[in-house]
């Protein structure tokens, strides 16, 4: 990878880029302003694991849209390959790929660290989740031989929005946390006075607490 290229990190804005896709030329992140969106790469069209992933993403696409979230794929293949592969999936698997796929020549993949030299010249299975302003909130990388869990990516988008809206943290395995069930975590108190108030609030039933630094509460969610 070019040493002069600095990969964006969580909290950075997705770099401005103009991309060629199966839906025409798009400007990112501008095209999705006001929406969350998932940008994900796959090693190549017409490959078994990638086909299962696109089928799964397409099946869950309506659920992503309910969360005001769009999908956009990417690989270092020509747009014609993307289009024909999409036709094959529709004709043979009865699933339409209705979100765009970027035909990258390597520029986007390099900017986002999607090509790992020790894994060959194709992109690994990277996932970038952006918020409504185009800020990178989640980065995931999978090796080429491991398919992703799209239900988990959908869950991530949902809990990211909950955390933002409610100003809370999300426990492990939510909404099935072994410690707090479907409750969310109240951010820890940062001073003595707030810690005392936190325990007083717990006594009144506003929170449930294991201690002043580990409190949780119920919220409404779908």
Residuewise pLDDT in 10s, the chain (222 residues) = 444 456 899 999 999 999 999 999 999 999 999 999 999 999 999 999 999 999 999 999 999 999 999 999 999 889 999 999 999 999 999 999 999 999 998 888 888 988 777 766 678 899 999 999 999 999 999 988 899 999 999 999 999 999 999 999 999 999 999 999 999 999 888 899 888 888 888 888 888 989 888 999 998 876
Single out the residue of 215, 70, 54 nearest to residue 125, CA to CA: 54
**Exactly one of 50, 69, 209, 215 is catalytic; which is it?**
50
CATH 3.40.30.10 in the chain is located at 17-148
Single out the residue of 180, 166, 176, 178 nearest to residue 220, CA to CA: 166
State the pTM of this model.
Answer: 0.90
Q: Give the SS3 label for residue 123.
A: strand
* pLDDT of the residue at 143: 87
CA angle 137, 70, 126 (to 5 degrees): 50
69 is catalytic: no
* pLDDT of the residue at 204: 87
Single out the residue of 2, 222, 202, 221 nearest to residue 106, CA to CA: 2
* pLDDT of the residue at 1: 41
* pLDDT of the residue at 161: 97
CATH 3.30.1020.10 in the chain is located at 167-222
* pLDDT of the residue at 67: 97
In CATH, the number for domain 17-148 is 3.40.30.10
Determine what percent of the chain is predicted with pLDDT higher than 90.
71
* pLDDT of the residue at 199: 83
Q: How far is CA 65 from the centre of its chain?
A: 13
Q: Quick one: 167-222 is in which CATH superfamily?
A: Antioxidant, Horf6; Chain A, domain2 (3.30.1020.10)
């Amino acid at each position: 990878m070019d040493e002069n290229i600095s990969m964006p990190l969580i909290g950075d804005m997705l770099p401005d880029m103009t991309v060629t896709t199966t839906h025409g030329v798009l400007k990112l992140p501008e095209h999705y302003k006001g929406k969350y969106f998932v940008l994900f790469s796959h090693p190549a069209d017409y490959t078994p694991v990638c086909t299962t992933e696109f089928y799964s993403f397409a099946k869950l696409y309506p659920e992503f849209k309910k969360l005001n979230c769009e999908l956009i794929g990417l690989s270092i293949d020509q747009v014609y390959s993307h289009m024909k592969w999409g036709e094959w999936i529709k004709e043979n698997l009865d699933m339409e790929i209705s979100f765009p796929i970027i035909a990258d020549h390597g520029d986007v993949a390099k900017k986002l660290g999607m090509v790992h030299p020790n894994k060959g010249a194709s992109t690994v299975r990277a996932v970038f989740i952006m918020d409504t302003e185009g800020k990178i909130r989640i980065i995931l990388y999978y090796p080429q031989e491991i398919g992703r869990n799209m239900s988990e990516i959908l869950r991530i988008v949902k809990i990211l929005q909950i955390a933002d809206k409610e100003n809370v943290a999300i426990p492990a395995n939510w909404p099935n946390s072994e410690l707090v069930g479907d409750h969310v975590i109240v951010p820890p108190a940062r001073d003595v006075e707030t810690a005392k108030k936190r325990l007083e609030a717990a006594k009144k039933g506003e929170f449930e607490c294991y201690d002043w630094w580990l409190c949780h509460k119920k919220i409404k969610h779908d």
